[in-house]
């Protein structure tokens, strides 16, 4: 279900963003890139999966792999349920979930207000963020779903620091 | 590529497939005009459509072919095998061009894409025929296996791609499916019904009076919809067989064999995705049969067999799965050569070989890289073989068996489930998470109490082994393997061992708890999770939670289990080895798991000490150890109070009498082993306890179809030994049911 709020006022400059929160930060994803927002859910953990995988949730007869955005940011894994956004994976016609703390409203912003990532950012955030919107009250970090794809995260290796606790004598 | 072209490619490929069949048939019946007409029609249709779509190259090819076929139809020329060779070549070329169109959108204009040689050949054949000379009479089918290289062969070698490659490359067809409009209409109806039901449910509430009614309707619609979608996905196995006549024809020529291919049960339905999965293994098996199985004509004649060999493909349904057999009447597999090779490769020692049965020897063929072919040919013998076949088939939950008799032939049997989408599974709990285990890998379940755990689990180095009856079973702890939090709450309780078997490995998976088995709907995982390797999918359980489906063979491999041919048990009993049997060993049902037990009274009472008997596992509910003091007698018949009911005991072997004689009555120490069995066909199931001397093992067995002259008792082959099946329960040879052995 694409969000109908993709208001296309004929000013081509505007872009409608869905705001979300993770930790203390404010983030935004273009509404056209969001397929659906699932209410509060707690994904089922998958043993041996990389740390940034929150788990799987059922979605329209498919199993949706969900990325834990807080873990990507280097925050603690949340114990309780969170909010899952269903995002498209452009080329593969697959989709994946993004687990965040909460989803806010839709804001319309001028595309020109988007600035590229500040150069002082740490490499982790550099890889995740896609620029920053200056808003009157705060900064909103722009997220590109393509950068958060589980397959891309796996390739980058930057987040692969999966937990390696003790393995029993089975190996 | 636009819709029209796509449709054209799919239709033409289908037409060419039919044409291929007709051509191979025509070779056997050169005078059959119906076949010629059918071929003519295909080529004509292609010609017509290509002209319309503007594919000049295809049009030119089809046009020349049509001219030749017209002459053939008019009886101006005869269907010589040279002509058929040329037509097959035309077919390959048409296919190659279609493939080019499919992948690139154009029909190819490179210098290698030149058809002049082929067109010239077709024209010569047509022209040469007008002045038909006496020296080119219609050749009988396949008589020119050793003919000198003809122009058509040379042209063949310069064709854009070898025929085998093209066979594997037709892709459009794999993605399209023909469905009866009736079925589609019915599905649409059901979907409409589903929408209506949903609307009503949305307006209703769980408290409403009509809610149970609505839920029931939803249930019915879902079940019907599922069934009709499954039916639409079912494809006759014959689709798969279509390409084989041509393949066998080409192969037999390259190998200098004379081979006929026969089909049986082509209409057997199989899920589309599974059809694709067995395509390669089957191709491989047929190739093996022609190249290795069937002997050259001279050698066949020497052996007293007709010079033409037969490869038979046979498909049929059997208890929830589809069996496809590739049967050849060739030389069979020489066990000595297999074993010699195995020793040479260092896979087994000569001492081990001495005690190996034929079946175990044939198992060696499934070891990766194993090949007995004395020389490597282009077709097979490279040793990439049966192991790949087995891996492919097991991947979709099937199994592979090999049977062979020297001089009589070899049978390769592929067994695949009817559908992949929904499978019966056992749900287990470990570390507070649920996991699903496919039932087909499950052999039995064992409950171990904490008290027994220490005494029954042995440690050798890092590995742990469980003492299961006479054998040692390697254990894998699921919570340790998956790095889960160990379940502390059940510290005081026991745990379950699921005995699993896959790819020749047998191991016990230790889990915390069992849940009732469910029919699960298999969902695929994303690439990141597939990479973990231990899970073949996920499913939503009845209670709404998600569970990962364990990949049993990978679990075994990860835990370091090596496939070992099961240790040969010395059998000092009244059984004959299978290889020496003179009885026609025609298995009627395979892989029936049986409980093997020892008896001193075999069948009709004339057994020897230590003889074995078997009981179908499906008939056995539990195996109990009962203190002899608890057995009571009424009217001279032994009885047991068992779970609130009276269980009559059957003591053919007179174990109870012996025990009673050896021990003082009411001696609490001695226990009797009792198989709690339910009689077939009685509802509610009536139980009976069968007193046995000792349970030997639970093992897969092969039921034999024997006539009364051979043996009045039903027989089963277990561990290569002919064993008598308990006659009252013999008809229960079905799937292994969920059993609990305490």
pLDDT for the residue numbered A18:
92
Strand B399-405 with B409-417, pairing: antiparallel
**Of residues B188, B192, B185, B167, the one with CA closest to residue B242:** B167
| Closest chain B residue to the Cα of A57, Cα to Cα | B546
Within a domain: A47: yes
Confidence (pLDDT) at B382: 38
Q: How does strand B259-264 pair with strand A114-115?
A: unpaired
Per-residue pLDDT, A14? 83
| pLDDT over 80 (residue B550) | yes
Mean of the pLDDT values across residues B315-323?
A: 78
The alpha carbon of residue B611 and the mean position of all alpha carbons in its chain are separated, in whole angstroms, by 33
Q: Are A66 and A56 in contact (CB under 8 A)?
A: yes
Phi, psi (degrees; rounded to nearest 5) at B412: -105, 125
Q: Across residues B266-283, what is the average pLDDT?
A: 84
Residue A21 belongs to a domain: yes
Q: What CATH number has the domain bearing residue A30?
A: 2.40.50.180
Do A44 and B529 count as a contact with CB atoms less than 8 A apart?
no
Q: What is the CATH number of domain B238-417?
A: 3.30.565.10
Q: What is the pLDDT of residue B737?
A: 34
Higher pLDDT among residues B582 and A106, named by residue:
A106
Packing angle, helices B33-53 and B56-73, rounded to 10: 160
Whether A6 and A31 have beta carbons less than 8 Å apart is answered as yes
Mean pLDDT of B98-114: 73
pLDDT tens per residue, range B493-535: 788 899 988 766 788 999 988 888 888 888 888 888 888 888 8
- In the predicted model, what is the mean pLDDT of chain B? 74
Q: What whole-number distance in Å separates Cα of residue B297 and Cα of residue A129?
A: 72
The pLDDT, as a whole number, for residue B533 is 82
Residue A168 lies in a domain: no
pLDDT at A68 over 80: yes
Number of domains observed in the structure of chain A? 1
* Smallest Cα distance from A10 to chain B, Å: 34
User: pLDDT category, B492, cuts 50, 70, 90?
Assistant: low
Helix (H/G/I), strand (E/B), else coil: A129: strand
* Cα–Cα distance measured from residue B152 to residue B117, given in angstroms and rounded to the nearest whole number: 9
Question: Which residues, 6 or more positions from B658, have their beta carbon under 8 angstroms from its beta carbon?
Answer: none
Q: Which is it for strands B687-692 and B694-704: parallel, antiparallel or unpaired?
A: unpaired
**More confidently predicted of B643 and B413:** B413
Which of B194, B476, B526 to probe the A interface (max A CBs under 10 A)? B526
Q: A67 or B42: which carries more pLDDT confidence?
A: A67
Q: Say how many C-beta atoms besides its own lie within 10 A of residue B620's C-beta.
A: 24
Question: What's the pLDDT score for residue B470?
Answer: 72
- pLDDT computed for residue B1 by the predictor: 65
**For the ranges B77-91, B169-183, B377-391, B647-661, which has the lowest average pLDDT?**
B377-391
At residue A102, does pLDDT exceed 80? yes
Structural domain of A19: 14-156
Chains A and B form CB pairs within 8 A to the count of 80
Work out the percent of chain B whose per-residue pLDDT is above 90: 4
Bigger pLDDT: B646 vs B145: B646
Q: What pLDDT does B192 receive?
A: 93
Q: Are B410 and B403 in contact (CB under 8 A)?
A: yes
What predicted TM-score, i.e. pTM, was given to this entire model? 0.53
Mean pLDDT to the nearest integer, B236-257: 84
Is B645 buried (19+), middle (13-18) or exposed (0-12) by CB count in 10 A? exposed
C-beta atoms of B476 and A50 within 8 A: no
Is A8 a member of any domain?
Answer: no
Quote the minimal CA–CA distance from A21 to chain B in Å: 25
- Interchain proximity A47–B482, CB inside 8 Å: yes
Is residue B380 very low, low, confident or very high in pLDDT (cuts 50, 70, 90)? Answer: very low
DSSP letter string over B591-612?
A: EEEEEEEEESS-TTT---TTEE
Hey, what are B636's tokens? 């001279």
CA angle B714, B718, B723 (to 5 degrees): 40
Whether A99 is covered by a domain: the verdict is: yes
Q: Closest chain B residue to A152 measured between Cα atoms?
A: B528
The string of pLDDT tens digits covering residues B471-482 is: 788 888 888 888
pLDDT at A49 over 80: yes
- % of chain B with per-residue pLDDT over 70: 77
The residues of B whose Cβ lies within 8 A of any Cβ of A are 431, 433, 462-464, 476-477, 479-484, 523-529, 531-532, 534-535, 537-538, 540, 545-548, 558-560
Nearest CA-CA distance, residue B725 and chain A, Å: 39
pLDDT band at B601 (very low <50, low <70, confident <90, very high): low
pLDDT at B710: 61
Nearest to A170 among B477, B527, B540 (CB): B477
Q: Is B94 exposed, middle or buried (0-12, 13-18, 19+ CB in 10 A)?
A: buried
DSSP B506: E
Please determine, for residue B741, whether its predicted confidence score (pLDDT) is greater than 50: no
Q: Which of B313-327, B479-493, B570-584 shows the highest mean pLDDT? A: B313-327
The yes/no answer on whether domain B3-174 falls in CATH 1.10.3720.10 is no
Pinpoint the alpha helices (H) of B626-702.
Answer: 655-662
User: Chain A residue closest to B482 (CA)?
Assistant: A47
Domain spanning B422-558: which superfamily?
A: CheA-289, Domain 4 (2.40.50.180)
Return the SS3 of A82.
Answer: strand
pLDDT digits 0-9 by tens, B25-62: 888 777 777 888 888 888 888 887 777 777 888 888 88
Q: Which residues of A touch B560 (CB under 8 A)?
A: 170-171
CA distances for B545 relative to A66, A80, B56, B436, angstroms: 15, 16, 59, 12
The beta strands (E) that lie in B439-479 are given as 442-448, 457-460, 463-468, 471-477
pLDDT, one tens digit per residue, over B387-424 is 778 877 877 777 888 888 888 888 888 888 776 677 78
In a domain, A124, yes or no: yes
| Predicted confidence (pLDDT) at residue B734 exceeds the cutoff of 80 | no
Within a domain: A164: no
Rounded Cα gap, residues A16 and A113, in angstroms: 13
Distance from CA of A44 to the nearest CA of B (A): 6
Q: Superfamily for B578-741?
A: CheA-289, Domain 4 (2.40.50.180)
Phi, psi for residue B630 in degrees, rounded to 5: -85, -10
Backbone angles phi, psi at B175, to 5 degrees: -100, -10
């Amino acid at each position: 279900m694409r969000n109908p709020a993709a208001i296309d006022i004929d000013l081509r400059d505007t872009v409608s963003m869905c705001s979300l929160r993770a930790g203390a930060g404010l983030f935004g994803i273009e509404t056209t890139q969001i397929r659906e927002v699932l209410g509060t859910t707690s994904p089922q953990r998958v043993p041996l999966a990389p740390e940034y995988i929150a788990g799987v949730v059922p979605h329209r007869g498919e199993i949706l792999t969900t990325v834990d955005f807080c873990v990507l940011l280097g925050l603690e894994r949340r114990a309780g349920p969170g909010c899952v956004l269903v995002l498209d994976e452009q080329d593969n016609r697959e989709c994946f979930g993004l687990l965040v703390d909460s989803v806010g409203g839709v804001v319309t912003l001028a595309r020109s207000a988007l600035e590229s990532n500040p150069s002082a950012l740490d490499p982790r955030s550099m890889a995740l963020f896609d620029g920053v919107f200056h808003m009157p009250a705060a900064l909103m970090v722009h997220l590109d779903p393509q950068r958060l794809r589980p397959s891309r995260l796996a390739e980058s290796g930057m987040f692969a620091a999966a937990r390696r606790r003790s393995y029993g004598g089975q190996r | 590529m636009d819709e029209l072209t796509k449709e054209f490619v799919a239709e033409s490929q289908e037409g060419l497939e039919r044409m291929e069949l007709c051509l191979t048939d025509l070779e056997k019946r050169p005078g059959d005009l119906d076949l010629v007409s059918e071929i003519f029609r295909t080529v004509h249709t292609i010609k017509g459509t290509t002209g319309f779509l503007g594919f000049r190259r295809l049009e030119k090819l089809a046009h020349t072919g049509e001219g030749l076929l017209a002459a053939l139809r008019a009886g101006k020329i005869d269907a010589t095998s040279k002509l058929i060779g040329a037509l097959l070549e035309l077919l390959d070329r048409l296919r190659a061009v279609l493939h080019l169109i499919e992948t690139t959108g154009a029909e190819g204009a490179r210098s290698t894409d030149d058809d002049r040689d082929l067109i010239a050949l077709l024209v010569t054949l047509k022209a040469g025929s007008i002045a038909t000379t006496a020296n080119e009479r219609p050749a009988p089918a396949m008589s020119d296996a050793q003919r000198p290289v003809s122009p058509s062969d040379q042209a063949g070698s310069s064709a854009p791609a070898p025929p085998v490659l093209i066979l594997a490359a037709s892709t459009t067809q794999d993605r399209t499916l023909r469905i009866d409009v009736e079925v589609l209409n019915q599905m649409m109806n059901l979907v409409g019904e589903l929408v209506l039901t949903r609307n009503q449910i949305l307006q209703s509430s769980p408290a409403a009076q009509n809610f149970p009614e609505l839920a029931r309707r939803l249930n019915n619609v879902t079940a019907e919809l599922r069934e009709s979608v499954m039916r639409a996905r079912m494809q006759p196995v014959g689709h798969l067989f279509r390409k084989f006549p041509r393949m066998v024809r080409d192969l037999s020529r390259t190998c200098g064999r004379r081979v006929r291919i026969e089909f049986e049960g082509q209409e057997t339905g199989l899920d589309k995705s599974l059809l694709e999965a067995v395509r390669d293994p089957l191709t491989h098996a047929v190739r093996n049969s022609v190249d290795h199985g069937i002997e050259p004509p001279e050698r066949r004649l020497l052996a007293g067999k007709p010079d033409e060999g037969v490869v038979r493909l046979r498909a049929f349904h059997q208890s929830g799965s589809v069996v496809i057999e590739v049967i050849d009447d060739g030389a069979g597999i020489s066990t000595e050569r297999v074993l010699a090779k195995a020793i040479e490769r260092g896979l087994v020692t000569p001492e081990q070989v001495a005690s190996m049965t034929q079946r175990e020897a044939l198992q060696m063929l499934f070891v990766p890289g194993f090949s007995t072919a004395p020389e490597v040919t282009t077709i097979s013998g490279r040793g990439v073989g049966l192991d790949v076949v087995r891996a492919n088939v097991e991947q979709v939950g099937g199994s592979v068996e090999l049977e062979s008799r020297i001089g009589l032939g070899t049978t390769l049997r592929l067994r695949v489930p009817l559908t992949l989408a929904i499978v019966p599974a056992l749900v287990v709990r470990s570390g507070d998470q649920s996991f699903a285990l496919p039932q087909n890998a499950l052999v039995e379940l064992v409950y171990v109490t904490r008290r027994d755990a220490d005494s029954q689990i042995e440690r050798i180095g890092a590995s742990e082994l469980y003492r299961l009856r006479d054998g040692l079973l390697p254990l894998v702890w699921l919570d340790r393997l998956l790095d889960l939090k160990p379940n502390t709450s059940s510290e005081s309780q026991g745990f379950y061992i699921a005995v699993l078997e896959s790819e020749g490995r047998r191991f016990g998976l230790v889990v915390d708890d069992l849940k009732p088995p469910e029919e699960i709907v298999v969902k695929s995982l994303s690439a990141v999770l597939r990479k973990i390797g231990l899970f073949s999918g996920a499913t939503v359980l009845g209670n709404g939670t998600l569970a990962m489906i364990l990949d049993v063979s990978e679990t075994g491999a990860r835990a370091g289990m090596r496939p070992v041919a099961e240790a040969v048990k010395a059998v000092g009993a009244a059984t004959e080895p299978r290889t020496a049997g003179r009885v026609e060993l025609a298995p009627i049902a395979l892989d029936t798991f049986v409980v093997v037990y020892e008896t001193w009274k075999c069948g009709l009472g004339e057994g020897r000490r230590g003889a074995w008997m078997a009981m179908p596992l499906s008939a056995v509910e539990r195996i109990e150890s009962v203190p002899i003091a608890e057995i009571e007698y009424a009217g001279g018949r032994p009885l047991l109070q068992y779970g609130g009911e009276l269980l009559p005991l059957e003591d053919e072997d007179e174990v109870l009498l012996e025990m009673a004689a050896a021990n003082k009555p009411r001696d609490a120490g001695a226990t009797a082993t009792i198989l709690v069995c339910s009689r077939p066909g009685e509802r509610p199931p009536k139980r009976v306890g069968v007193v046995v001397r000792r349970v030997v093992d639970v093992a897969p067995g092969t039921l034999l179809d024997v006539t009364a002259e051979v043996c009045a008792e039903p027989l089963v082959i277990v561990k290569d030994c002919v064993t008598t099946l308990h006659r009252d329960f013999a008809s229960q040879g079905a799937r292994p049911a969920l059993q609990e052995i305490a």
